Amino acid sequence: MQLSAFLLLAFYLFLLWPLARWHHSRNSLAPAVFAGLLLGVLLGGLMHLAEGWGVNTPWVLDWVGLIGNGYVNLLHLLVMPLVLISILAAVVKVSNTASLGKISGSVLVVLLGTTAIAAFIGVVIAHLFGLTAEGLVEGSREAARVDVLNERMGRVTDLSIPEILTSFISRNIFADLAGQRDTSVIAVVIFAVLMGLAALAVRRENPEQGAAIERFVTVAQAWIMKLVRLIMAFTPYGVMALVTALVAKSSWTDIFNLFNFVLASFVAIALMFVVHALLLMINGISPLHYFATVLPVLVFAFSSRSSAATIPLNVETQIDKLGNSPAIANFSASFGATIGQNGCAGIYPAMLAVMVAVPMGINVFDPVWLTSLIAVIVISSFGIAGVGGGATFAALVVLPTMGLPVQIAALLISVEPLIDMARTALNVNGAMTAGTLTQRWLGPSVEVAEAR
């Protein structure tokens, strides 16, 4: 082991101390998370330079990954228990089942509506930037990715829409609690709703047993939320480690070669954040206050590239910071991890479709073709996995359905991690926007139902 690599790791560990001091001196999580992000960028850049000097940076990054990947694993560990208990508690406490229908309906309307807008923005931006699949160089990594995508496409394109919807219903709840399928989160949500409805039926027939079930669920929820807050305290250090590794491993040459696509993607994503802000403002919610509140959630989503792993922080922020009802927060966070992802399921497949369609002579603004594309994108957004690679899954559904080749997804592998960070932040913000708007529209009726 090189002494320089050991010193570099020691310097990284030393910087955890002032970050911890900064964290504990602040009541809010946001300053510490932002500080962790900045430190991660600086350390990642330093490791880039150190690699050029002959330092064994992969060894250093292995230890850095112990912190970053360990933190992400803890969050993944929380996801299924949190979704199960929180949705179950929401159903048990909101005894008016009509309120549950209104909550889920409102959340889905926002998620799917904003995904349709995101798809349209993706088409427009791809056209304005003149993005096309022509001229992209296919290297060894891209060629290998094409083979993987072709094999995966064979599994995806064989599924019809009814089959995709059927996959939302769990055949083995223990397998779904272990996250064995792309649609495991939504399957656990459905199972939890059914369990909650069964609990309501028990309460009607036997109030004493019903009260015991509610007490158990209340205690379990308090226990889970305490665990969530315990793990959330490690967020600044997890963000610092994740960003350090990401910056250190990024290929700036690849990013420069595909700069036009990267820039177009970030412009489209920024426009969707503006759309979210306008929706909030129209409904009397201050976008500045909202974004200042959710910044730690977006930073973590950006660095982790996982909508599913962000669910615990998403739920906690909606309840404690935004004042959303627990029922609304849990439904919006859970649905938003697998349905109507604005970035991965909306913008990305739309941009790829334009890049492939233009060289084929297709008029992407033909009303029939454009409407068909947006409809396919919205429908296929059901069940997109809330993990890294979800955007590729969306492309594998959308492109073949529109009669377009999927190889373009493999040719963009070099810049995928960079763009996927921003897409994930947009996905998570879409879920929180859906929850916040639903709270504004249905809040009083939900609070009355919970109080019964």
Q: Is the pLDDT of residue 149 over 50?
A: no
pLDDT tens digit sequence for 41-97: 888 888 878 877 777 888 888 898 898 888 888 877 887 888 888 788 878 876 666
DSSP 278-320: HHHHHTT--HHHHHHHHHHHHHHHHHH--TTTTHHHHHHHHHH
Q: Is the pLDDT of residue 157 over 60?
A: no
Q: Which of 359, 345, 346 is nearest to 136 (CA)?
A: 359
pLDDT tens digit sequence for 189-235: 889 889 988 998 998 899 999 899 989 988 998 898 888 888 878 88
DSSP 152-166: HHHHHTT--HHHHHH
The answer to whether the predicted template modeling score (pTM) of the entire model surpasses 0.95 is no
Backbone dihedral region for residue 399 (phi beyond 0: left; psi -120 to 50: alpha; all else: beta) = alpha
Across the chain, what does the average pLDDT equal? 82
pLDDT tens digit sequence for 257-309: 567 888 999 999 999 999 999 999 999 999 999 999 999 999 889 888 888 88
Tell me the C-alpha distance between 435 and 446, whole Å.
Answer: 13
- Contact by Cβ (8 Å): 377, 122: no
Structure token pair of residue 445 = 């009726």
Q: Which of 390, 396, 395, 376 is nearest to 424 (CA)?
A: 390
Q: Is the pLDDT of residue 155 over 80?
A: no
CATH class for domain 3-451?
mainly alpha
Better-predicted residue by pLDDT, 147 or 239: 239
Q: Is the pLDDT of residue 452 over 90?
A: no
- Contact by Cβ (8 Å): 219, 115: no
Q: Residue ranges per domain, the chain?
A: 3-451
Better-predicted residue by pLDDT, 328 or 380: 328
pLDDT the model gives residue 235: 83
pLDDT the model gives residue 323: 92
- Contact by Cβ (8 Å): 11, 39: no
Grouping H, G, I as helix, E, B as strand and the rest as coil, residue 178 is coil
pLDDT tens digit sequence for 1-34: 577 888 888 888 888 888 888 777 776 677 888 7
Tell me the C-alpha distance between 82 and 307, whole Å.
Answer: 14
